[in-house]
Amino acid sequence: MRRVFTTERVVLLMVLTLAAALRLHGLSFGLPFAHARPDETAVAGPAVLCLIGQCRPVDFIYPTGFIYVLTLAYLGVFLMRWVAGVSPDLASFAESRRVDLAPFFLTSRAISAIVGIATVYWVDRIGRLLWSPAAGLVSAGYLAVSLLHVRDSHFGTLDVTMTGLIVLATLYVLRWQQTPRHGLAIAAGLVGGAATSTKYNGLGVALPFLVAAASLLAVPRPTQLVRPRTVAIAAALAAAAGVVAFLALTPFVLVEAERFLRDVTARGDGLSQPHGIDVGSGWRHHALVTLPAAFGWPLYLWSVAGALGLLLTRARAALVLLSFPVAYFIVIGTLETVFARYALPLLPFLALTAGWLTVEVGRRLGARFPAVPASAVTVLLAVGLATPSLHQAILLDRVLARPDTRVIAAQFLLQHASPGQTIHLSGRDYGHVPLTLGAARTGLEVLVADAAGVFAPDASGEARLPDWLVLQRSPLTLYSQVPPHLEHLAASRYRRVAMLQATDAGHAGLYDQQDALYLPLWGLEGVRLPGPSIEILRRR
């Protein structure tokens, strides 16, 4: 009788359980605040509109694949609520988002988390296919604990899902390279088209297929002759499947082709400019900031060494595996907008190169020193390299499970401020305290100051001071600066009534300065709460 629970399967189950625990804990991060993770509303909003029949996209900044899948998920949530007697119809369910965001945000975040966990599994499959079960397990383990991948798997945005589909498409390409069947080529095309319809960057997954096709023609297989005609047919089928999948999930591209081209071009022009603050070239920033923060410096350098080792020793498979990440890194390196999440599609491939090198070093050391089992060396090496990122991921989950400072501050104002009073919120709007939480409204009037620090006058033209000041402070210098005149005003005319400290004094975490996510990329020690530190002051 076939054994069901082999050692390999048990270890894989442990890795996937760890991946799930890290990605599902703290999934309600920031709620009921809508902008704790910027861009979630840009996905959830169109999906809700599509739910009530308005599926034509307002713009083509994002393709609609993920949005339409999310719409179907919302339909499933509605049906459960309808059966329970909570939502009588679709319109009332859609409108309920103004009172309770949780069903909508948790649904989109759950999709990201599930695809993130599945990506760990697909990385294991690629490692097994190319090298060995051990290489697959170690590679999957590295991605399971990657801090950046864990972080973004909590958010209902597009990047983690696109990354997962790219990895799955690459798996089908590698299978097709080893066994050139048309069904595998079609599957690669369909998944690649879905990746492109999730985010346009997914189009780059066509490159591994082209490299695999070239390798089949250039290097004859020892047991099977692959005719050029067979490869050409497979390539045509894959391309056709990709186009069909993309258009099925992004159908309005055909209806509004001119607007589609205009929006995509404008999006590209915007990405070529710094997002508010110049942090250097994309190549340098991702290579020296984003990717080290995704794994920790030791594992990151190990993965780069693994990529070089693969190219030198196993070039045929390595060229297919690494063609997408190398090309993708070259492209994002040309951009001046360098959000950390843009590097997410690189992480599974770096996990694979690091996993291969770990097993290879363990094997060679075991052969040289027979008294030390190769498996023991591999496990110790893998655990040592993965521990720093795992530690940071656990700290991140603890923080994500705590209430956001902006939510706590909003609850304070709901209790202590009176409708009709005035308030000034410092910094950019991403860090502003919401004056509405669900159905609860503070009724406060927001006063805006000009460049000289003078607040908007009242109806009679008299200058006035706000009853409340709310000052946000964080290491995000672009978003949380407090002007000197406002500091002086706060000290001379106001008294502090509440202080929400997001981090310990002297906290020195590494932040993505262009992104309005008030969490560090690395260095979560000393982070108490998500969000900026917030000082609430009342006029004397």
% residues pLDDT > 70 (the chain): 98
Average pLDDT, rounded, for the chain: 93
Domain ranges of the chain: 7-24+35-66+104-400, 405-539
What CA–CA distance (Å, rounded) separates 471 from 456? 18
The full length of the chain comes to: 540
The band of 221, judged by pLDDT with boundaries at 50, 70 and 90, is: low
How many whole angstroms separate alpha carbon 445 and alpha carbon 129? 61
Q: Assess whether pLDDT exceeds 60 at residue 1.
A: no
Model pTM above 0.85:
yes
Q: For the segment 308-326, what is each residue's pLDDT rounded down to a tens digit?
A: 999 999 888 899 999 999 9
Q: How confident is the model at residue 2 (pLDDT cuts 50, 70, 90)?
A: low
Query: Per the omega criterion (within 30 degrees of 0), is the bond before 325 cis?
Result: no
Q: In the block, which residue shows the tokens 């290097």? A: 219
For 311, the token pair is 């190219």
Q: What is the mean pLDDT of residues 320-336?
A: 96
Give the dihedral of Cα atoms 70, 76, 79, 81; nearest 10 deg.
-80
Q: What is the pLDDT of residue 316?
A: 83
Q: What is the DSSP letter of 540?
A: -
Is the model's pLDDT at 372 over the cut of 80? no
Confidence of residue 225 (pLDDT cuts 50, 70, 90): low
Q: Are strands 422-425 and 468-473 parallel, antiparallel or unpaired?
A: parallel
Average pLDDT for residues 169-193, to the nearest whole number? 96
Residue 173 confidence (pLDDT): 97
| 479 pLDDT more than 70 | yes
Average pLDDT over every residue of 49-70: 95
Contact 467, 421 (CB under 8 A): yes
Question: Which range, 5-19, 337-351, 363-377, 429-443, has the best average confidence (pLDDT)?
Answer: 337-351
CA distance 16 to 346: 20
Nearest one of 410, 404, 421 to 502, comparing CA atoms: 404
Which pLDDT belongs to residue 224? 57
Q: Given a cut of 90, is residue 490 above it in pLDDT? A: yes
Q: 453 with 428: CB under 8 angstroms?
A: no
Pick the residue with more confidence: 221 or 368?
368
458 pLDDT more than 80 = no
Q: How many angstroms separate the CA atoms of 125 and 348, rounded?
A: 12
Span 184-193, pLDDT tens digits: 999 999 999 9
Rounded Cα distance between 365 and 206, Å, is: 38
197 C-beta neighbours (distance < 10 Å), count? 29
CB proximity list for 68: less than 8 A, separation 6 or greater: 47, 50, 55, 249
Instruction: Please state, in angstroms and rounded to a whole number, the distance separating the CA atoms of residues 92 and 523.
Output: 43
Residue with tokens 């656990």: 394
Q: Lowest-confidence range among 340-354, 459-473, 500-514?
A: 459-473
Q: What is the mean pLDDT of residues 305-309?
A: 97
The two tokens of residue 446 are: 């927001």
Higher model confidence: residue 395 or residue 265? 395
Strand partners, 533: 473
Q: Are strands 494-500 and 436-437 parallel, antiparallel or unpaired?
A: unpaired
